[in-house]
Chain A
Amino acid sequence: MAQVELSRIAYARSGDKGDGSNVGVIARRPEYYDLLVSELTAERVKKHFSRICRGKVDRYEVPNLHALNFILHDSLGGGGSESLKSDAQGKTHGLGLLQMQIEVPDGLLED
């Protein structure tokens, strides 16, 4: 097993959804998708964003796009124009998730 940053095997985009954000994570290759499904559990994502996301995390699978979609509830410091934060729209949450460390089986990654 090798430990790599999630950005090695996936790309991402995020934005606001009410007082929460959504983070879409897409596998760089179809063969990485199963690893995303097993490694990126809602619990693990909630823990990763523990200082940012105050609500629960929902996860949806989108196998046709080799993607997972996460909803991070209560993660913007208030919805609409209520929030005082720099990132009041969760635009950086995708980059935040891509910094997670992931265990990758030997041989899965090309060099």
Chain B
Amino acid sequence: MSEKTVRVANGQGFWGDSPLGPVRLVREGPLDYLTMDYLAEVTMSILQKLKSRDPSKGYATDFVKTLERILPEVVEKNIKVIANAGGVNPRACQEAVLETIRKAGYQGVKVGIVSGDNILDRLEELIASGEPLKNMDDGRPLSEVLHRVLSANVYVGAEPLVEALGQGAQIIIAGRCTDPALVAAPLIHEFGWSFDDHDRLAAGTVAGHILECGAQCTGGNFTDWRKVPDMARIGYPIVEGRADGSFDVTKHPGTGGLVTIESVSSQLVYEMGDPKNYITPDVVADFSSIQLEQVGDERVRVSGVQGRPRTETLKVSISYSQGYKAVGQLVVAGPDAEAKARLCADIIWKRLSLDGVEFPASDRLVELVGSGVCFDGIAPAPENLSEVALRIGVRSPNRADVDRFGMELAPLVTSGPPGVTGFAGGRPKATEIVSYWPALVSREKVETQVVIEES
């Protein structure tokens, strides 16, 4: 008998990733678990706002649409689905998913949710109980911006997901759980790993880190892009886990992209901090212990991963309002495109000033896209550009000033230098700036709940 392996895939690296990812994963090859990642720091504040306007909203609606599309394969092949699509309202997401499953005519499908991560309503209580929720970057206490907080969620780990799997859930919807936990949880569940088994927890975490950005480990965003075959049909990644904690990174046969030591290493260093201390709610993984080996054409083996006991605190992702911003764009065509674009920017600031609206230099941005803005000071700027995009923006606590700025772009087409065009999409409007406040909270102050319902 061959050794048991468990196939876990990720079909969605972020909210907005291609809808084809999960669809092709369930159709183009065998799969035990499909994970999908929907949440970023800014997403939580948007979802919180939607929920405050309508209590039935506040989750990733794309997830429900995707699930509807892949439901036949999910049910027929008994694929388990784990996603952090619950946002700030996992319960409403569960309702919508159950409704979708019933409409499709499937009975007895168990849908679980994990909640307890949302601490927005508990902030004052937590502060009063001796949790200052200090900003991890600069040490300020949260009380300084408490009245401007938009969302507050604790990153939870694999434990409640494993609990839901243990209760037989086929579809699990979490709120703000960590991205790697989505992949670690099925491995922990299937192989019965203990939450004291630091090396295996770390291995599951590394598997999750490799998968969490979807196709970024199978040739997406890869330095040697010319070597990546058939990027349009890029295969989303699959981990084949084994009981000892080692696993293979691969993708379905016949899909585009590649799986090499280079493509996997590139993803391992993505968003890396201190490689020896990759902290999750479950474990502290040591990325300096990872061993990679090319064991097949599209197959990289990961082994040797070591971990240390989890920390006493959990990370909290808090977002707060920090004023407004707007950015707009005009195309300026040559001759003298650059000089004319600079003049346009100058005219905008002067006209705003004539109307009593001023922005300090630190809150203004002028970029001549095409002239090398991304490599400022690194690569020599190209000369005699035949066209540039003038990208111009402001930020301010004053919303009206930001909207006033947006009115001065289009007029340049008729009252500026010649060759100004490409103004589309209307005036840039003020949007709220959402700032991120990372903090820590004592583990014992947070309790997660698992609720399972059946279609």
**Contact, CB under 8 Å: A80 / B273:** no
What per-residue 1/0 map shows which CB atoms of A43-82 lie under 8 Å from chain B? 0000011111000000010111111010100000101111
Is B269 a contact of A24 with CB atoms below 8 Å?
Answer: yes
Q: Using an 8 Å CB-CB cutoff, how does the interface string of B279-312 with A read, 1 for contact, 0 for none?
A: 0000000011111100000000000000000000
Interface majority SS on B: helix, strand, loop or mixed?
mixed
**A9-44 interface mask toward B, CB cutoff 8 Å, 1 = contact, 0 = none?**
001110111110010111000000000000000000
Contact A81 B435, beta carbon cutoff 8 Å: yes
Q: How many Å lie between the Cα of A66 and that of B275 in the bound state?
A: 13
Q: A99–B374 contact, CB under 8 A?
A: no
Say yes or no: is B267 at the interface (Cβ < 8 Å to chain A).
Answer: yes
Instruction: Known contacts A80-B434, A82-B322; decide if A51 and B377 are in contact (CB<8 Å).
Output: yes
* Contact across chains for B262 and A82 when beta carbons are under 8 A apart: no
Which residues of chain B have a CB within 8 Å of any CB of chain A? 41-42, 137, 216, 221-224, 262, 265-275, 287-292, 319, 322, 325, 327, 365, 367, 369, 373-379, 391, 393-395, 433-436, 438
Q: How many residues of A contact B (CB 8 A)?
A: 44
Q: How far is the CA of A92 from the CA of B221 in the complex (A)?
A: 10
With A60-B275, A80-B433 known to touch, is A99 a contact of B379 (CB < 8 Å)?
yes
In the assembled complex, 20 residue pairs joining A and B whose CB atoms fall closer than 8 Å, in A order, are: A11-B262, A12-B266, A22-B269, A22-B271, A22-B273, A24-B269, A24-B272, A26-B269, A48-B378, A62-B275, A65-B287, A65-B290, A66-B265, A80-B434, A82-B395, A86-B367, A87-B373, A87-B374, A92-B374, A96-B378
Q: Can you add 9 more A-B contacts, CB < 8 Å, to A11-B262, A49-B378?
A: A11-B223, A15-B271, A50-B377, A60-B273, A69-B269, A80-B435, A81-B435, A86-B374, A96-B379
Q: In the complex, how many angstroms separate the beta carbon of B67 from the nearest chain A beta carbon? A: 28
Say yes or no for A84: interface residue by CB 8 A criterion.
Answer: yes
Pair B272/A22 contact, Cβ less than 8 Å:
yes
A104 an interface residue at 8 Å Cβ cutoff?
Answer: no
Task: Please pick, from A65, A82, A100, the residue contacting B265 in the complex, using a CB distance under 8 A.
Answer: A65
Contacts between chains A and B (CB distance < 8 A), count: 131
Inside 8 A of A15's CB, which chain B residues have their CB?
270-271
* Contact of A69 with B272 at beta-carbon distance under 8 Å, contacts A7-B223, A79-B436, A80-B433 already known: yes
Cβ-defined contact, B438 with A18, below 8 A: yes
Inside 8 A of B273's CB, which chain A residues have their CB? 17, 22, 60, 69, 71
A84:B269 contact, CB within 8 angstroms: no
Supposing A7-B223, A80-B42 touch, asked if A99 and B265 sit within 8 A by C-beta, the answer is no
**Chain B, Cβ-Cβ closest to A53:** B377
4 shortest interchain CB distances as A-B pairs:
A24-B269, A51-B377, A11-B223, A84-B365
Supposing A11-B266, A77-B365, A82-B322 touch, asked if A18 and B436 sit within 8 A by C-beta, the answer is yes
Q: Are A98 and B374 in contact (CB under 8 A)?
A: no
